[in-house]
Structure 1
């Protein structure tokens, strides 16, 4: 078992002991770990370094456990419980700086506890790094290494673009206009192939699947393109059977509007789309803009597109709010046909109330289509002042 897993299991065991036992167990673990042990235990448990040092002194002096012990939750109130505005400001800061692994239901932040504490101090809160660390753990954040945070070289204006997206999204929310986060999920082979994960089955009766998962053995492929409604917490997935093209991406948005959006936004005049900077909905993709222009003419919508900077796709809400739960729902189960995939997607739910709708798109989308300068000139597009390559609005003529 890896050291990280052992430490996590040890931290979970501490939840069932009293405060003195917890302090002394942490002290013993810090002593065992040697140099840097106090810092490592502090990071793993959220306990202050002073508390761990106190435990080390107690262990070294052989002081017995006192007869009277505080119950868990007793003692001074937590700072966030005494100050309701602190939690609100903390949540706001984290909302703008949080990502989720698209294949796991965890979240992490790109800000250090020092940076978060400074941001909170600017809002009038006196708070330590240790307290910020405890708040992060209580909200189920986890420490991650840099390799899991960044997907490539980051842009200098990366954070500024995140703030710009957040500002524009808030404007749309205030106007009650729809906002969708879009992306293509990982393609899936159709057939009796092994799918990552485990499911509960009778002992000795695992589900039998093909030994190999070569594409030539598949009965086809599924290309799930999703649209996640940020305000309503509802997802829509258009499952294609051919290629992930710009035409397919916009058709998926069109189907979201016909089957879901139109019902909830009957008076909509605008649409905000947040998308990655590459792929079928990339900011350099001419087809993406051409097909969006056609959709704008059909609906009369003024369509604003805001792209995430390069190498930041994990910050796209659809990745960790929709796609991760779909993957969790079908883990360990072979995707033997398209109907099975549609059913798994439709039955994806969360305790936060996520609802997901899905359809099968049998149209064949052809790759490699070229779009001329003349076609681009016919698009009524307004590029924003801030990073026009990432932010633009298409208006029907």
Structure 2
């Protein structure tokens, strides 16, 4: 019997509205109900209108006629219905899957997916290739069934733990409670990761109009090199008040910058929040610019204590435990979250973004830009460090110490880099620019510096190009040109002092309160410029091993005793040649002596010098000039090695023997072997006295 079109239209509308809301069994029973109401031909008509199989409708009719009730547990199908799961059809599937996701524990260590991303699609493709056809959704279901889930890395491994790690944590906690009980300020300090300024991608996402993301650079190498703008946030977190203060530097993350950041916080916030404070507790990491090993950090804190009148106590967290520092998760994490997805295009953006950081717990942050210059290479002299008002605590004195506001009476008030050390360094450089040390008069030295300045600038640009990996693509981006610790003239002066062997790099570094590495790098670079220019500095007649001896010489012209001894040994009566001939011989051998020193150093190293390392030209005990004089005296057979050692007083016979063995081939190659002397001396006193034959006390040979 044909079903009228009006009824078919009504059924179509009814199915369109009702069927999408029913499950499989409910749809089947609903269609069977309509088919039974239509009578003969109803099954075919309902199947055609609902676009399902007639078999499905007939199954529903049979279920209705059988009087079957609802399935238990809200099931749609009876137990055992549907296809079998993939792991049931392929019992080896699950074992093969676990072998891929855990190659080190359960499966094959040579798995091809060991070093690739274990995505569901990659796992399904590899299983199919091994004879276990499966889909990506099934792989995901099996992994979840076995207790797997998508997880990121967790930073929990802290490396080798210090045996007193927990004891130091308890000590820090006790110090914090004691200071807070007395209403004294307690701050947590650290340097946040430095950021490059520019349209560079930042992690995270931010709300933007659809289809209008922030455009950033696709390569970072445009923002590499020494001239790139950078932001160095140094944070101070007040634990009791839940407030942050960030000093954004633009130069270098040094100990001087760290203490200056604390100084600026105290002037702008600390002194106002704690007007009656007499003590300050600082909790800091074990490394970085505020590391417990840095003497400059302690020296600058001593200067801050002397200026503010505060007793500054510092407690360092043990190594590899920086994440326990309060500032990390109470300030820096919120700053990072606040500037997510936002390129740091200028220092203003950095400062304003940090200052806008807020939390529901009440955190407020204040940020300021610090355009100051903080050159690297600064150190503290041994004498000044020994005079610091530093008191180590009984519990781990290397990590816990207090700097009192008053210094030792004999040392005077503590002075920091910005409050006198820089001026003292400049004054000392002026004193070291002495013709007796440099071998040049004032006008000659100025002329040499003027000639070398273009070469030094060219050499600096060459070094910058090597650091950038190519030519400069952008203009210098710093707020102002970074001023180095030593200008070009000072670099020339220090290089001349070193090459003329006036004193060692270590002595220069201690006098100028810089690191020997800093002196070594600038001498290495300026030495190449002097060689390109063709200047031969020669050797100074006087060598100094202590700063006091050098200062005494500059003040009174009193040279060390060894200088007088070498002057006597260089007398024509002993060397058999005039002073001019001796100086000519010394200057002629100087380049070959430097090459010989480098060759011997290469033999000791067993390989070439690493790129960027400095080459030494300064023998530790006997200078190059002294080597030539001692070799000439020995070749003339004036005395034995023991007498030469007794004459100098502070060197051994074997050392003089090594010096002669190394220098003799150079003199022979020059063709200037001295003639043997007819006189031989049996004591050092006789040898030295022979330089003054008119002296009535001169003994006979």
Which TM-score applies when normalising by structure 2? 0.36
1:166 aligns with 2:173: yes
1:195 aligns with 2:216: no
Alpha-carbon distance between aligned partners in 2 of 1:297 and 1:313, rounded to the nearest angstrom = 29
* Structure 1 or 2: more helix by fraction: 2
Q: Where does residue 238 of structure 2 map in the other structure? A: 229
Q: Secondary structure at the match of 1:250?
A: helix
The Cα of 1:203 is off from its aligned counterpart by 1.7
Which has the larger Rg? 2
| Aligned counterparts, 1:236-315, within 5 A | 236-315=245-324
Q: Where does residue 220 of structure 2 map in the other structure? A: 213
Alpha-carbon distance between aligned partners in 2 of 1:216 and 1:367, rounded to the nearest angstrom = 19
The Cα of 1:368 is off from its aligned counterpart by 1.3
Alpha-carbon distance between aligned partners in 2 of 1:63 and 1:306, rounded to the nearest angstrom = 67
The Cα of 1:240 is off from its aligned counterpart by 0.2
Q: Could you report, residue by residue, the CA deviation over 1:27-61 in whole angstroms, capped at 9, with x for unpaired residues?
A: xxxxxxxxxxxxxxxxxxxxxxxxxxxxxxxxxxx
1:157 aligns with 2:161: no
Q: Could you report, residue by residue, the CA deviation over 1:269-300 in whole angstroms, capped at 9, with x for unpaired residues?
A: 00000000001100000100000000000000
Q: Where does residue 188 of structure 2 map in the other structure? A: 181
The Cα of 1:63 is off from its aligned counterpart by 9.8
Number of matched pairs: 258
Alpha-carbon distance between aligned partners in 2 of 1:182 and 1:352, rounded to the nearest angstrom = 20
CA-atom RMSD in angstroms? 1.9
* 1:145 to 1:332, Cα distance in 2 relative to 1, 3 A: closer
List runs of 5+ in structure 1 lacking aligned partners.
Answer: 1-61, 66-143
The Cα of 1:148 is off from its aligned counterpart by 1.1
Alpha-carbon distance between aligned partners in 1 of 2:163 and 2:157, rounded to the nearest angstrom = 13
The Cα of 1:336 is off from its aligned counterpart by 0.2
Q: Where does residue 375 of structure 1 map in the other structure? A: 384
Alpha-carbon distance between aligned partners in 2 of 1:244 and 1:341, rounded to the nearest angstrom = 17
* 1:211 to 1:175, Cα distance in 2 relative to 1, 3 A: same
Task: Select which of 405, 410, 421 maps to 1:396.
Answer: 405
The Cα of 1:202 is off from its aligned counterpart by 1.6
Does structure 2 conserve the Cα–Cα contact (< 8 Å) formed by 1:191 and 1:219?
A: no
The Cα of 1:348 is off from its aligned counterpart by 0.1
Q: Could you report, residue by residue, the CA deviation over 1:60-103 in whole angstroms, capped at 9, with x for unpaired residues?
A: xx9979xxxxxxxxxxxxxxxxxxxxxxxxxxxxxxxxxxxxxx
Deviating above 3 A after TM superposition, structure 1's stretches of 4 or more consecutive aligned residues are: 62-65, 144-147
1:351 aligns with 2:371: no
* Structure 1 or 2: more strand by fraction: 1
* 1:63 to 1:312, Cα distance in 2 relative to 1, 3 A: farther
1:316 aligns with 2:318: no
RCO higher in 1 or 2 (8 Å CA, sep ≥ 6)? 1
| Aligned counterparts, 1:78-157, within 5 A | 148-157=155-164
List runs of 5+ in structure 2 lacking aligned partners.
Answer: 1-70, 75-150, 407-701
Q: Could you report, residue by residue, the CA deviation over 1:124-148 in whole angstroms, capped at 9, with x for unpaired residues?
A: xxxxxxxxxxxxxxxxxxxx99961
Q: Secondary structure at the match of 1:252?
A: helix
